[in-house]
Amino acid sequence: MTGEENAVTAVDLSRRFGQFTAVDRVTFSVPRGEVFGFLGANGAGKTTTIRMLCGLLRPSSGSASVSGLDVYTRFEEIKTTIGYMSQQFSLYDDLTVEENLHFYGGIYGVGRTRLPAVTGALLDQMTLGGQRRRLTRDLPLGWKQRLALAAAIIHDPGIVFLDEPTSGVDPASRREFWLLIHQLAARGKTIFVTTHYMDEAEYCHRVSIMKEGRIAEIGNPSRLKEKYRAGTMQQVFINVVKREQS
């Protein structure tokens, strides 16, 4: 697959903090339209990787591009052309649901004439229409999660980065959120998602398992289960970790 067909490409991408190497020469590519899962325990290097790809953190070495834009030289462009949902939802509690979307629409350059229609469509898509005038601080966590996703995609980006988006929410909300992810993918968007929930790997087209800053395994969930003779991705993860430690 050519670089133009890949939404994300990384080659020997690394990030060091002093003597500590958080991300150690990771190499991978994500085709356009794929739901790509970055799996690993907390501290494995997932968030550091995603921050480099989003133009928020400069790599120490290696190369990477997002939508053909180099992360070293065109990081400001990357920030405006992707959707990014961080672990801590970047929402304003003292604004209503609708006001939050209007705020982010303005940041991302959605024109004033288009903003009401775009906001309305997203509220419907996220089933938040009945909450549009409710203060964000009063929303249950699962609804805040959906609002954060709506804010991240209000400018209709082709690539959406989701960093631990389901952390702390109940299982039912997690399943509903993954349905939204696949609705976005069905519309041609590339979804790059980090998670430490191994069962969520089943929802991805491909997954990468990180351990101590390195990619220990990468592939389709079904094929990985066959390779490791495992019934679940949780068992795959355990077997990969055991292999790395041996």
Q: Which CATH number fits the domain that encloses residue 206? A: 3.40.50.300
- Whether residue 167 is predicted with pLDDT greater than 90 in this model: the reply is no
For residue 110, the enclosing domain spans: 34-47+80-245
pTM for the structure as a whole: 0.93
- Tell me which of 192 and 244 has the higher pLDDT: 192
Q: Is residue 181 part of a domain?
A: yes
Q: Is residue 63 part of a domain?
A: no
Q: Is residue 9 part of a domain?
A: no
Kindly indicate the confidence band of residue 239, based on its pLDDT and cuts at 50, 70 and 90: very high
Mean pLDDT (the chain) is: 93
Residues 6+ apart with CB under 8 A from 209: 39, 40, 215, 216, 217, 218, 236, 237, 240
pLDDT tens for 205-237 read 999 999 999 999 999 999 999 999 999 999 999
Say if residue 167 is exposed, middle or buried (CB neighbours under 10 Å; 0-12, 13-18, 19+). Answer: middle
Residue 4: predicted pLDDT:
55
Residue 3: predicted pLDDT:
45
- Whether residue 85 is predicted with pLDDT greater than 70 in this model: the reply is yes
- Tell me which of 4 and 41 has the higher pLDDT: 41
Q: Is residue 18 part of a domain?
A: no
* Structural domains in the chain (count): 1
CA atoms of 217 and 175, how far apart (whole Å): 25
147 dihedral zone (left: phi>0; alpha: psi -120 to 50; beta): alpha
- Whether residue 2 is predicted with pLDDT greater than 70 in this model: the reply is no
Q: Is residue 94 part of a domain?
A: yes
Q: Is residue 57 part of a domain?
A: no
Across the range 80-92, mean pLDDT stands at 89
pLDDT tens for 98-137 read 999 999 999 999 988 999 999 999 999 999 999 999 999 9
- Whether residue 1 is predicted with pLDDT greater than 60 in this model: the reply is no
pLDDT tens for 12-57 read 999 999 999 999 999 999 999 999 999 988 889 999 999 999 999 9
Q: Is residue 168 part of a domain?
A: yes
Residue 17: predicted pLDDT:
96
Q: Which two three-digit tokens encode residue 33? A: 């339209």
Q: Is residue 26 part of a domain?
A: no
